[in-house]
């Protein structure tokens, strides 16, 4: 059902910023999103199309996925993305993809990795090498994850790009494999790349804040074992991903991407409780360590995110109170043993 309030809320918090538009003017060439069918791909493509349309720039934008979701493919077609159905692990199909200057690599496998370890490694570590060879003459922004980082004291300020990764579990290990393989081919072929190390993007429809809001609203006890987290509004994260095409280097540059605060889950829940008129329930005591990302280099390069955590809490509550839709894909941000 059409909901004018929700449409206006989404439009307000997803429109391209002036800084994004300025950078977009300087990104030459066409674009391809590999693995566009996930949580971030469609909104990132929409942001790019909105920006190109606002600037009056004509570029081809390709979106590649298996496209098991027919509705999702239709959405992309309708906004002007040229969709290509492709199993990226099929090397013949991969080699037939168009040569494009700007590659946003979104492909990966996380949820369900336990029990499918071979497929996890194929997607997260083998495929990047094939993609890097195929697009060796392009610039590549490859999305990675803060899960490759070590747990650190919550008073540490988080982990910056200088800290050696210590991934826990096969998902995180294979994700570090993605980073290492892309870096190898960046060095070998001189391909400009940026490893975009993200945690955690949040949106109206999914993410840490939405998950906490659901628990508060349903009266479900919230586990405080991992009581500290970083988040960034998805539209801000999308802008940084596309703008990062101007900051690719050879060898590959690593960039941490998240919000500026080390947040308390308990604090978020209490703020949401007031917005939702519910009393949050809690279990377990906080551990002294957490998976925390320090993104000060990102802020130096791109500025601070335009959507603040208090706005994120407010608009998440409004979205829920107005029966906005959701993806139903939990982040498992409280997982401490790497089992996804």
On whether residue 340 sits in a domain, the answer given is no
On whether residue 313 sits in a domain, the answer given is no
Query: In this predicted structure, what is the pLDDT of residue 254?
Result: 98
Exposure pattern of 270-301 as b/e (b: 16+ CB <10 Å)? Answer: ebbbebbebebebeeebeebbbbbbbebbbee
On whether residue 67 sits in a domain, the answer given is yes
Number of H helices, E strands in the chain: 13, 15
Give tens-digit pLDDT for 20-48. Answer: 999 999 999 999 999 999 889 999 999 99
Q: How many domains does the chain have?
A: 1
Give tens-digit pLDDT for 194-215. Answer: 999 999 999 999 999 999 999 9
On whether residue 143 sits in a domain, the answer given is yes
Cα 258 from Cα 276, distance rounded (Å): 26
143, pLDDT greater than 90: yes
Give tens-digit pLDDT for 233-251. Answer: 999 999 999 999 999 999 9
On whether residue 124 sits in a domain, the answer given is yes
Contact 239, 16 (CB under 8 A): yes
DSSP string for 23-78: HHTT--S-EEEETTTSSSHHHHHHHHHHHHHHHT----EEEEE----HHHHHHHHH
- In DSSP terms, 141 is beta-bridged to 104, 194
Domain of 102 in residue numbering reads as 4-201+230-261+291-305
Give the CATH number of the domain where residue 125 resides.
Answer: 3.40.50.720
On whether residue 51 sits in a domain, the answer given is yes
316, pLDDT greater than 80: yes
On whether residue 310 sits in a domain, the answer given is no
On whether residue 316 sits in a domain, the answer given is no
Give tens-digit pLDDT for 100-109. Answer: 999 999 999 8
Contact 127, 141 (CB under 8 A): no
Residues near 170 by beta carbon (within 8 Å), at least 6 away in sequence: 113, 114, 117, 120, 121, 338
Residues near 164 by beta carbon (within 8 Å), at least 6 away in sequence: 150
Give tens-digit pLDDT for 158-208. Answer: 999 999 999 999 999 999 999 999 999 999 999 999 999 999 999 999 999
Give the DSSP H or E segment for 90.
none
Mean residue pLDDT across the chain = 94
Query: In this predicted structure, what is the pLDDT of residue 193?
Result: 98
328, pLDDT greater than 80: no
DSSP 103: E
Three-class DSSP category at 310: helix
């Amino acid at each position: 059902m059409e909901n004018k309030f929700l449409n206006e809320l989404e439009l307000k918090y997803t429109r391209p910023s002036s800084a994004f538009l300025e950078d977009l003017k300087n990104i030459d060439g066409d674009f391809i999103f590999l693995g566009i069918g996930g949580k971030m791909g469609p909104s990132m493509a929409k942001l790019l199309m909105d920006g190109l349309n606002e600037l009056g720039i004509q570029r081809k934008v390709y979106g590649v996925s298996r496209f098991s979701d027919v509705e999702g493919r239709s959405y992309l077609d309708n906004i002007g993305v040229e969709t290509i159905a492709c199993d990226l692990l099929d090397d013949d199909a991969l080699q037939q993809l168009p040569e494009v200057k700007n590659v946003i690599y979104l492909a990966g496998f996380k949820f369900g990795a336990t029990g499918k370890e071979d497929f996890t490694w194929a997607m997260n570590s083998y495929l990047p090498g094939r993609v890097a060879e195929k697009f060796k003459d392009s610039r590549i922004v490859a999305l990675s994850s803060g899960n490759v980082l070590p747990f650190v004291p919550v008073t540490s300020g988080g982990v910056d790009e200088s800290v050696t990764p210590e991934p826990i579990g096969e998902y995180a290990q294979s994700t570090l494999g993605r980073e290492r393989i892309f870096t190898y081919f960046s060095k070998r072929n001189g391909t400009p790349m940026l490893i975009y190390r993200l945690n955690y993007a949040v949106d109206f429809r999914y993410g840490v804040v939405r998950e906490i809001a659901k628990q508060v609203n349903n009266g479900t006890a919230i586990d405080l074992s991992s009581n500290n987290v970083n988040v960034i509004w998805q539209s801000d994260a999308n802008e940084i991903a596309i703008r990062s095409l101007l900051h690719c280097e050879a060898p590959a540059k690593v960039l941490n991407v998240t919000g500026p605060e080390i947040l308390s889950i308990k604090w978020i829940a209490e703020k949401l409780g007031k917005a939702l008129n519910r009393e949050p329930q809690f279990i377990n005591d906080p551990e002294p360590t957490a998976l925390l990302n320090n993104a000060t280099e990102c802020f130096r390069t791109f500025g601070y995110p335009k959507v603040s955590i208090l706005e994120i809490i407010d608009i998440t509550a409004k979205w829920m109170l107005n029966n906005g839709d959701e993806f139903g894909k939990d982040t498992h941000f409280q997982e401490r043993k790497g089992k996804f």
